[in-house]
Amino acid sequence: MTSSPRLAQTIALALGIAVLPAVRPATAQDVDAVAVPNEQSVILERADRARTKGDPEAPIRIVEISDFECPFCARFYLESYRAIDSLYVQSGLARYVWISFPNSTHPRAWPAIEAAFCAGAAGRFWAMHDVLFERREQWAEAADPNALFRLWAAEIGIEDDSFARCLLNDQTAPLQVRDYESAITAGVTSTPFFVVGDSVAIRGAVPLETFRSAIDSVLVLRGHDTP
């Protein structure tokens, strides 16, 4: 963990993670919202906004730079993510942003990120995010991971044809390239990588208590109670 405001702020700036307006999650009743839009510009805007969650007025922001095929990212998800989400994001203490950074040794990381962003364009980013980490071993070893992504997209309420079209046409590629280039510019070299409150950088899947200590220290410094 690096308590370096300059480093973390540089990363935040390079990644272009300005606070975005909240997006209401889609529900099963939102017929229009569960289809991926046709226009690429709309897809990119919705996907970009959907990977941010939590109260826009939360006192701090947590940024995760991650790769769905990365085993250490999966470890963080399985061991720490849910607790952090419950304690800090759902309680209104933190805004959470997910940034993609596929490792060159992970051949299926790019299509998995694409599946998450296409789902995000339909208002289902976080549902697909969870599925991809929970079923990582299945799609990472599959001959055709996109076939599994389509099945799971249907499970979480996304219309199949529009989702398949998004995958086939690489509609989210500009967002993925922007994430990657921004992370490289910021000096990120591995995943997972976190920025807490734009002032503390955390490298790797550190234990939950270490992560909580970092978040709590930022909250206390800003005059807020900790959970």
CATH number at residue 160: 3.40.30
172 in any annotated domain: yes
Residue 21 lies in a domain: no
pLDDT tens by residue, 152-211: 999 999 999 999 999 999 999 999 999 999 999 999 999 999 999 988 999 999 999 999
Beta strands in 48-160 (DSSP E): 52-53, 60-66, 94-100
Q: Which two tokens stand for residue 75?
A: 């470890």
Question: Is residue 10 one of the residues assigned to a domain?
Answer: no
Q: What's the structural domain count of the chain? A: 1
pLDDT band at residue 34 under the 50/70/90 scheme = confident
- Residue 148 forms part of a structural domain: yes
Whether residue 25 lies inside any domain: the answer is no
Range of the domain at 168: 33-55+70-194+214-227
Q: Measure the CA–CA gap between 107 and 147, rounded to whole angstroms.
A: 16
Q: What average pLDDT does the segment 116-131 reach? A: 98
State the average pLDDT for the chain.
89
- Residue 84: other Cβ atoms inside 10 A: 20
Enumerate the β-bridge partners of residue 196.
62, 200
How much is the pLDDT for 13? 59
Note the pLDDT tens digit of each residue in 75-121: 999 999 999 999 999 999 999 999 999 999 999 999 999 999 999 99
In angstroms, the CA 139 to CA 148 distance is 7
Looking only at the bridges linking them, the beta strands covering 60-66 and 193-196 are antiparallel
- Whether 99 is covered by a domain: the verdict is yes
Residue 201 lies in a domain: no
Q: Does any domain span residue 14? A: no
Kind and range of the H or E run holding 71: helix 71-76
pLDDT digit string (tens) for 6-32? 555 656 655 665 444 444 444 443 444
The predicted pLDDT at position 21 comes to: 42
Give the closest residue to 112 by CA, choosing from 141, 80, 89: 141
What's residue 8's pLDDT? 58
